[in-house]
Structure formats: structure tokens, C-alpha cells
Structure 1
């Protein structure tokens, strides 16, 4: 067991190694997927993703990935609310165009996954877009619009995508499970907000958290993980997706205004181990040899990447007010959702190994135009700032 864990952690270090420096070779998540492929079924076969306890780490990492995405969704943000109408318009255009393009891909290649392709094409990856915004300190109305668009796209596609991979007989149960997860998340949030307003309970909580800080108990971290596990248990019991459970847990934590200390702790647990473990194990699960030997699967990946760029450029052209081209390119970034679809498709046997690998391949391709777009936005922002400073002299 520990030998497998050592291989897993060693492979996960390749992601940061490739992403380090001023000119990173690859995004960290792509590096982790590549490392998993190297040590897994595609390459050396020294990491067995089915060996105990790796499947548990895989599931927890998947849930924590979506929790991290959900924490970016602040429902009380005035800037987000102000941009919701245009963000909603962009998402509507992307959904309609995505379904049409998805149908075209299905008909062209003879692969009956129109709804899955359409949802993936309309999605945007908060796990890619938001770190790009933060890393380059992008601000302004165009970025507020992009943020609202990505939040809406992520929220809707996270709920819809798992439903495209379940059979008709399980659809109602999966929908009921998703509804129960959302209801449970809302109930947890309501109870927490009521507790804060109750003087006696709030006082006891403050004292408990003070003792926790002083004595290193990490109570808030434990409670946050408990919220995630409760929602994940509902997903497991109802046949719903861990993707929805993690995302809702992240939204709940975002609304509770967690202190910076807890954010750092959660990031350490998630990004320090479980999320990299998920991507390495996903890479180890995929058999890229089947992708390479299947021209149709390669075509799916390329067409999904090109389709995503086209769909998001169209949506940005119709909904954005400025920087339409670069905003559309950055919004087309995919990785978390295709990776999640591949993981769900493999575990449920709804996707062939080659098609699952094709989804991840297509998601990785979209990072190329998205990376270029973030650089162009940063350069444009710097030029605008320099021009404003020059005019003030």
C-alpha cells in the first residue's frame, strides 16, 4: 500500500515541476494527468488505480476538486449580481450553440452522445479561469462579466453533465439525489446563519474556535470536511454525482465567509494531496494507447476543443461589451468538467476508454487559446493603465 502511495505522491510532484517558473511548460493539472498516464495503464503500469485505498482517495479528490470550484461562487457578490444578466445571455447562447455543435459532432462521427457533447461545449472551467484572473490580477467590467458567465456556466453544467451519463431508468433517482443535495446544502447554510445570530450559540462557537486556534484543533476545517462528507454521503446513497455534492459544499462554505486561515487549511488538504491524487489517478486510469489507435476518438477531442472555442467566441460576441475575443477565448477553457465526465463515464461504463481519454484530450487542447487570452488581457490591462498614467502627467 505505501509503495503505491509513494509512487502516487511522486507522480503528483511532476505537475508543479512543469508549471514552475516564469514560462511554465504546462498547467499543473495537465502535468499531473501526464504523470498519471506515465506511471499508469498507458505507460509503465507501476501504479494500479484500483489498489486499496486509491479508489477512496480518487473519490475524495474528485469531491474536493469541485469543492474548490464551488468556493469561487459568492452568491452575495454585488459585482456578480450586476453582471448576471449578460452572463446569463452568454450562457444561453453557449448552450444553444453547444447543443447544435454537439449534435453535429455526434452525427459526423456516429457517436451517440449529443447531450454530453453539448453540455461540455457550453461549460467553462472555473478551476482554470479564476486562477488565471488571480495570477494576472485582471480587473474591470469585462472580467466581472467573465466571472458571472463562468459561475453560471459551471453551476449549470455541473448539475446537468452527470445526468447525460445515466440511463433513463436512473434519471429520476439522480435528479432526486441532486435536488436533495441542494436542499441539504441550503439547510446547512440556513442553520449556520441562524446559529451565528443566536447570542448563546454564537458565543459558544467563538469560544470553541478560539480554543481551536490556541490548541491546534482545526475545528473549522473538520466542520468543513464534515459538510462535504455529509453531502457526498447523500450522493452515494441516491446515485447522484459527487461532482454536485462537492460543488454545493463549496458554495455553502463561500457564503459562510470562512477566515483566511481556513482557506489556507482547505487548500493544503485539497491541493496538497487529494486533488493532485485525483488527476494522477485519472491519468493512470486512462489508456491513451486506445486514444492514439482510434482516429474517431482523436477527432472527438479536436472537434470538442475547436467547438468550445467557436461556441464561446459566439457567446462573447453577442453578450460581452468589450474585449469580446479574449474573453471568449478565456471562457472556452475546459478541464475540470471533461475530467469529471471521463471519471464518471469510466466508473459507470457509460463511456469507452478511448472516448473518456478523448474528452480529457479535448479539454487539455482548450488550455492553449485560454492561456494566450489571459496573457493578452493582462497586456491590454497594463497598456490601459500606462495610458491613463501618461494622460495624468
Structure 2
């Protein structure tokens, strides 16, 4: 990898903000970044080589940081959300059961043998994608809080389950590794909480701010990369390490200064690089050479919308049910890990991303419908 290629990657990443600049479109920034990767990668001009080891390693850093930020967005400290956990949990379970049926049906129809993977994909929701839509539209009320709890639960469970279902032959080993990462995350929570409560973290913050040392960022990067190293050594995706540490930050309360620093290095460089790399790695020409992949994407996307909309029967307004179907983190993680492990068939990664784009488009329309239906915060 050269500086010229790195400049091209950075330039490609700008397409994300350009597409996301129109607020009324509600287009996630990552859509443009993925599209740029597709144009310059194996599908398009072939200028970006996703197999380059340096490019791949930098993308892995971006993957870990992206999942950490996603985990930090889960509203585990919000009392209103915690009060809605009961109904949110029940609805998550129902969505999960329906997803198992839908996943089995899709895997059987297309003969992929990935019923468990499809079930996790269909059941997943993206807190990092849905919560900004909720905030930007000013959505609120009991139903929105219950949906938020449902999304947080689904996001967490599916992130944990994905490494276990994507490579079933190595599920026991992955399970042990996942438990090791989770145990370390729990230990980190108690250590960091005690450090915060003692006042030492505040003293560190003031000292770092005064001397311009960015110590909070450095320390948290050490922790993140250590968890990623543990995950890699135990054959677990770094996705879980990043998300687990993000949940820890969300639980103890992420300092604003740290949040800004993480935003700068993640959204400013590493996350765009990761999504451009992912787009460059996906061969959308497989959708042409393997037309069944298009149908698979349509089926997975449609099944996701139907399963989440079915929660209308449990009292969740239809627009919020469709909004809760929006997914990106889990499909992206599935494609990333599946591509690295070589366990996906021809066209399958492209089909999974197509399904995710369908849910994002539907969620954008559903969010607008929810706003028009008056599901907003009281003035």
C-alpha cells in the first residue's frame, strides 16, 4: 500500500458525507463509503486491492473502532429505556423465533446451509443506525422507548451470536473465546467504574487536558487493542471485542472529551477506510453472474421487514416496527468475517449487503411515517 492509494481511500471516503449531507434523505454515511469502495475495488476499476495486507490490517483497526462506537451508542444508562426493557425483551424474543423460521426457509430455498446465519441477520437491529434517525426526527414516547430497548437487546445478542453461527464447525472454540472476551469486558467495567468513582479518572482528565496529552484516548486504545488481541488469539472476531468494550464505555458513561477524540479518529479516518475496504472486497458482479444472489438479497431484506413489522400484533406501531428492522453492523460484520474465513458462497456477501440496504431504505421511509403519525417527543 502506498500513500497514493491511501489518498485515494481517503478521497473515496468523502463520498459518504456527500450523500449524507441532505438531511431529509437520511442516508447513512457508510452507504456512500461502501459505494466508493465498490467503484474503486474489484467490482469497478480495480484500483483498490482489498487483499493487500497493510490495507486489510488498517481496515481491521477501523472494524474494531466502528464496533466499539456502535456499542457505546447502546443506551444502557437511560432510565427510561431500562424501564421499557420488559416489553422490549419480549418483542425481541418473538422477533428471534420468527427469524429462525424465516432463516431456515431462506437457507432451504437457496440451498446455502446458512439457516442460523440468516436467522441472526433477520433478527438483528442496528442501534448505531436507528438511534440517530430517532434523534433527528425527534421521535419519542412510550412506544419509541420500548422499540429502543428492543433494538438494544437485539443488537447486543446478535453481535454475540454472529461469531458462533457464521462458522458452526468452530462454534465451541469461538464460544470459549467469546466467553473470555466477555469476562474481560465485565472485569474492565468494574475496574473502570471504580477508577471513575474514586475521582482518579477526573484528575487524569484534567491533567491530560492541561498538558494536551490525550491520555484518555491512549488508554482506551490500549484496552481496545488488547481485547482485539485476545479475540484474535482465541479465534473470535475483533467485532465482539470492539462491541464489548463499547458497551463498557456506555455503561460507565463515556466522557465527552473521549467521545470527541474517538469520533475524530474513527469517523474521520478508520471507519471510512474500513467501509471503503469492505466495498472494495465485495464483488457485485456476482449478482450478475449469479442472479440467485439478487433473489437471496430480496428475500432476506423482505423477510427482515416482515418479521419486524409483525410485532405490530404486540402493540408496536407499524412504522416503528419497520424502523427497528434497519440493520447494518451485523450484516457488515457477517460479510467481513465470512469473507475472511471463506465460508460464504458466490454472491452471498453481495446478497447480504443488498438485504441491509433494503432495510435501510424502508427504515428511512418508516421514520418519516412515524414522525407524521405524531410519535414524537412532547413539546
What TM bracket, shorter-length normalisation?
over 0.9
State the alpha-carbon separation in 1 of the partners of residues 97 and 25 from structure 2.
35
Question: Does the 8 A contact of 2:139 with 2:377 survive in 1?
Answer: no
Is 1:172 aligned to 2:172, yes or no? Answer: yes
The aligned runs of 1:142-157 (5 Å cut-off) are 142-157=143-158
TM superposition score normalised by structure 1: 0.92
- Under a length normalisation based on structure 2, what TM-score does the superposition of the two structures give? 0.95
Larger Rg: 1
Secondary structure of 1:288's match? coil
Is contact 1:346-1:352 (8 Å) kept?
no
Question: 1:100: how far off?
Answer: 0.5
Is the 8 Å Cα contact of residues 74 and 250 (structure 2) preserved in structure 1? yes
Q: Which residue of 2 aligns with 1:361?
A: 354
The answer for the alignment partner of 2:246 in structure 1 is 250
For the structure 1 residues 289 and 28, does the alpha-carbon distance in structure 2 shift closer, same or farther, using more than 3 Å as the test? same
- 1:115 maps onto 2:116 in alignment: yes
Q: Structure 2: how far apart are the matches of 1:78 and 1:64?
A: 27
Q: Is the 8 A contact 2:290 2:346 kept in 1?
A: no
Runs of 4+ aligned residues of structure 1 deviating over 6 Å after TM superposition are none
Structure 1 residue 384, shift from structure 2 partner: 8.7
Q: 2:255 aligns with which of 241, 255, 259?
A: 259
Cross-structure match for 2:97: 96
Contact 2:41–2:280 at 8 Å: present in 1 too?
yes
Deviations 1:291-330 (A, max 9, x none): 222121111100011000000011243253xxx1011110
Aligned match for 1:286, one of 282, 286, 309: 282
What residue in structure 2 maps to residue 135 of structure 1?
Answer: 136
CA distance in 2, matches of 1:5, 1:52: 13
1:51-92 alpha-carbon deviations (Å, 9 max, x no partner) = 242111111111111111111224343212211111111111
Residue aligned with 1:381, SS: coil
SS of 1:338's equivalent in the other structure is helix
Between 73-82 and 186-195, the greater mean CA deviation after superposition: 73-82
How far has the Cα of 1:271 moved from its partner? 0.9
- 1:270 shift after superposition: 1.0
Q: How many angstroms apart in 1 are the aligned matches of 2:272 and 2:243?
A: 17
Render the CA deviation track for 1:241-278: whole Å, top value 9, x for unaligned: 21111111101111222221211111111111111111
Change in Cα spacing, 1:380 to 1:236, as seen in structure 2 (3 Å) is same
* In the alignment, structure 1 residue 217 sits paired with structure 2 residue 210: no
Q: Does 1:191 align with 2:191?
A: yes
Please give the per-residue CA displacement for 1:93-129, whole angstroms capped at 9, x wherever unaligned.
1111111011111122222111111111111111210
Structure 2 equivalent of residue 315 of structure 1: 311
Q: Deviations over 1:331-366 (max 9, x none)?
A: 111122111101111000011241011101110111
Partner of 2:181: 181
| Structure 1 equivalent of residue 330 of structure 2 | 337
1:380 aligns with 2:373: yes
1:4 to 1:105, Cα distance in 2 relative to 1, 3 A: same
Do 2:140 and 2:377's aligned partners in 1 also have CA atoms closer than 8 Å?
no
Partner of 2:8 in structure 1? Answer: 7
Quote the residue 2:58 is aligned against.
57
Task: For 1:72-87, list aligned pairs within 5 A.
Answer: 72-87=73-88
Distance 1:254 1:384 in 2: 23
Number of the residue aligned with 2:320: 327
- Is the Cα contact below 8 Å between 1:122 and 1:308 reproduced in 2? yes
SS in structure 2 of the partner of residue 156 of structure 1? helix
The one of 219, 229, 233 equivalent to 2:225 is 229
- Residues 80 and 144 in structure 1, CA contact (< 8 A), matched pair in contact too: yes
